[in-house]
Amino acid sequence: MRGVIVMTIIGIIAALTMAVANNLTQGPIAAAKGRTKYEALQEIFPFKIASVKDSESNGVVFFEVSGTKGESASALELGTTQGYAGLIEVLIGFDADCNILDYKVVTHSETPGLGDKITQDDFRAQFRGKGLKNFDWRVNKDGGDVDAVTAATISSRAISGALERGLKLFAEKYPNKCAGSKKE
């Protein structure tokens, strides 16, 4: 009987502690998440971002970004993609012709020094200005145009697959803007 009472008291104190901690950190956690997204978008677009509007459909978040000097651009964030070591989340920025401007890997757990090269500029550079029409989105090992990271074909496939999916979703969302950029 004493055991039940002691455990109940400990449980109540533990629950109260966690409730207080949750309450205190809720704001900072939401702010940190927003900031990460904003910083990621700022890394993709060359102009200074003034405001971001986001809308979600089927797990994909679309961003309408406007710059301080009236620039505007779009981006989208895919739900998770299976990588080599876990799930990858990618934020993709598009240029005015609905091609890839740049992308940013928001979360990943690929092997350090190997699969994590997908986040680096050397690897990202090959996708800039590429769309559904002017690029074969398979890795070179599979007969495509993507120059895969050495010894990290699975990570490279995950990224090129995600980018291709992003391009298709973007073209579906903005059929007028992207007319003519769809693959025949």
Partner 1 sequence: MTLWQEFSKGIVRENPVLKILLGFCPTLAVTTLVINALGMGAATTFVLVSSNLAIALVARFIPENVRIPCYIVIIATFVTVVELLIQAFSPALNAALGIYIPLIVVNCIILGRAEAFASKNPVLPSILDGLGMGLGFTFALVILASIREIFGNGTWLGFNVIGIEGFSPILFFALPPGAFLGLGLLIALVSAYQRKR
CB-wise, 17 or 68, nearer to partner 1?
Answer: 17
CB within 8 Å of 105: residues ≥ 6 apart: 88, 89, 90, 91, 118, 119, 159
In which region does residue 67 sit, left (phi positive, over 0), alpha (psi from -120 to 50) or beta (all else)? beta
What are the percentages of helix, strand and coil residues in the chain, rounded to 5? 45, 25, 35
Q: Least distance (Å) from partner 1 to the CB of residue 93?
A: 20
- Neighbour-count burial of 98, counting CB atoms closer than 10 A to its CB (0-12 exposed, 13-18 middle, 19+ buried): buried
Residue 69 interacting with partner 1 (CB under 8 A) = no
Q: Least distance (Å) from partner 1 to the CB of residue 70?
A: 31
Residue 28 interacting with partner 1 (CB under 8 A) = yes
Alpha helices in 85-152 (DSSP H): 121-124
Identify the residue among 68, 109, 120, 140 touching partner 1 (CB under 8 A).
109
Of 9-17, 57-65, 119-127, 134-142, which part binds partner 1 (CB under 8 A)? 9-17
Residue 125 interacting with partner 1 (CB under 8 A) = no
Query: Which residues lie near partner 1 (CB under 8 A)?
Result: 2-3, 6-7, 10-11, 14, 17-18, 21-22, 25, 28-29, 32-33, 36, 86, 107, 109, 111-114, 151
